[in-house]
Amino acid sequence: MTQESNSSSKPSYAPTMTLAMAQQRAQLMITVRQFFATHQVLEVQTPLLSQAGNTDTFLQSVAAQVTYQDKPCTYYLHTSPEFAMKRLLASWQVPIYQICSVFRDNEIGVRHNIEFTMLEWYQPNYSLDDMAAELSELLAALYGHSVVMSHYRYVDAFMDFVGIHPLTASLDALQAVAEDKGLTGFDFNSDLDNTEDGETEVRQSWLDLLFSHAVEPNLGHDLPTLIIEYPPATAALAKTALIKRAIQSLNVSSCISMVLRLPTLMMS
């Protein structure tokens, strides 16, 4: 029997993930947990449901209708464990990590579905260089060999692949560049009067669109790439420091966080 006929004869209830992929994923989880245990980073588990949705302008929460004390109410699935983990971090001041499912509405693409698995960890009193070094160590543990990471400034990535300065270009210029690259059907500028922060939110919408479609596809082909010095609008729940018109994001409580998206067992 050919491989094609084998595939066509799979039962309708079979998952899209193969057994081999599930075994690889399980080994990945073991390696991640062993790494953090060795580095004395505490694993935590925080609630998936909360009474309030995410406050990030660029993320949409998935609502869940529940019953509380016999009364219907709306809760929300978290878009990341950041809020809850920072409560722990502020109270305990120790390194923590979590591997969990997260949910983001209206965000299905080649990277993930509405539900996907996230690894997020925090290191009190780490610098960005310290966190980058620890990330390299983690990747080396997962790959089985040493990993050299490329550091790329957000502004430089935009200049190289979009040909425009993301922090000084006008909104009209950002829209023109997007349309020139075939990204049509978007009119964020019309939202100028409908958003609380006006131009800042509209600018970041254009930058997110251009980064995801014109910058990101060019990254990480030769070396894992760490983007640094993001615009201030992307620094949710973070302190920022001005560095020659760019922004260095530093998380609250003198800590640095790192987020990685991990493969999720797909059952569709």
Residue (of 128, 88, 142, 130) closest to 228 by Cα position: 128
Strands 150-153, 225-228: pairing kind: parallel
DSSP, collapsed to helix, strand or coil, labels residue 234 as helix
Q: Please report the pLDDT score of residue 28 as a whole number.
A: 93
Distances from the Cα of 40 to the Cα of 36, 88, 121, 186, angstroms = 6, 16, 12, 46
Q: What pLDDT is stored for residue 173 in this prediction?
A: 94
φ/ψ (deg, to 5) at 72: -70, 140
pTM higher than the cut 0.75:
yes
252 pLDDT above the threshold of 50: no
Report the b/e string of 88-100 with b at 16+ CB within 10 A. Answer: bbeeeeebbbbbb
CATH of region 12-127+252-268, choose from 3.10.180.10, 3.30.930.10, 3.40.50.2000, 3.40.50.300:
3.30.930.10
Long-range contacts of 164-169 (CB under 8 A, 24+ apart): 166/207, 166/210, 166/231, 167/231, 167/245, 167/246, 168/245
Domain positions in the chain are 12-127+252-268
Q: Compute the average pLDDT of residues 43-71.
A: 91
pLDDT of residue 29: 95
Split at pLDDT 50, 70, 90, the class of 90 is: very high
The residue ranking higher by pLDDT, 247 or 38, is 38
Mean pLDDT, the chain, integer: 84
Which has the higher per-residue pLDDT, 10 or 60?
60
The model's confidence at residue 197, banded by pLDDT at 50, 70 and 90, is low
Q: Please, which pLDDT band fits residue 46 given cuts at 50, 70 and 90?
A: very high
Task: Convert the pLDDT of each residue in 116-150 to its tens digit.
Answer: 999 999 999 888 889 889 999 999 999 999 988 88
Higher pLDDT, 250 or 23: 23
pLDDT of residue 104: 92
Average pLDDT over residues 99-113: 86
Pairing of strands 115-124, 255-262: antiparallel
